[in-house]
Amino acid sequence: MSTGEFTAGIRSILPMLIGVVPFGLVAGVTPVAGGLGADVGIGFSTLVFAGASQLAAIEVLTGGGTAIVAALAACTINLRMLLYSASIAPYLAHESFARRMLAAYLMTDQAYAVSINRWAGPSAGLAAGDAAGLERRRHRLAFYLGAALTLWCSWQASTVAGVLVGNAVPDSVPLGFAVPLVFLVLLVPTLTRAHAIVAALVGGVATVVGHELGVGALSVMLGAVAGIVAGALVDDDHPEPDPVPT
């Protein structure tokens, strides 16, 4: 595994931790404040490792809902991971099953965004004879793991900190404000081409409309599908990922 690519993955994710750490604190504080206990907060972050889904499930449980309803709420919100995995799969197809399962467990919005931007973006090094680009393509998983593991460690540490702090955080401290900021940090750098802007606008509008119509967590999936379709209709260029030698 390439140390250089692993380090590059770490560097790429570091700016996003500014929003992720407060988000993790929320994930730790919320179950304690709801009376579920510290073990639930830490368990959710370790096993589920999905911020928005964790908070949705915790909200259901603290509201008196069953574990099945909580799991369904979490899975519904995380349906977007199906789209991420389908997008990223061709780039990691040459890796072993165990490594791909590790990548699946570590999948987050942030790790996906920085990886797909490096592999499919202008810096991918797809030009013939680009030795640096060829080297990067052989060690894609190293870059992904550098980013994903850095975020995982930060998330676990911030969740534990949130659990320890618990109800000591004043209501006046807007930790929840970090949640939308995390996703804005991912979105804004991608709005460089017409199809990306159209996809973002259509996806955002569809999500809001779906929420107002009462479809609940499915509004996220509705917005994602609508944005993909709109972006695909506008985009005339559909590059295929290059084959990677085993």
- Interval 154-179 mean pLDDT: 74
Tens digit of pLDDT for each residue in 100-135? 999 999 999 889 989 998 887 655 555 444 555 556
Q: Give the C-alpha separation, 152 to 167, whole Å.
A: 24
Query: CB–CB of 103/141 below 8 Å?
Result: yes
Lowest-confidence range among 87-96, 151-160, 229-238? Answer: 229-238
Q: What is the pLDDT of residue 170?
A: 63
- Is residue 184 helix, strand or coil? helix
- Interval 18-34 mean pLDDT: 83
- Is residue 239 helix, strand or coil? coil
Of 55 and 136, more confident: 55
The CA distances from residue 95 to 23, 90, 195, in Å, are 31, 10, 31
The CA distances from residue 147 to 9, 54, 66, 103, in Å, are 4, 21, 34, 11
- Interval 197-218 mean pLDDT: 80
Say whether pTM exceeds 0.75.
no
What are the residue boundaries of the structural domains of the chain, listed by start?
3-175, 191-246
- Residue 168: is it exposed, middle or buried by C-beta count within 10 angstroms (0-12/13-18/19+)? exposed
Q: Give the C-alpha separation, 4 to 2, whole Å.
A: 5
pLDDT band for position 18 (cuts 50, 70, 90): confident
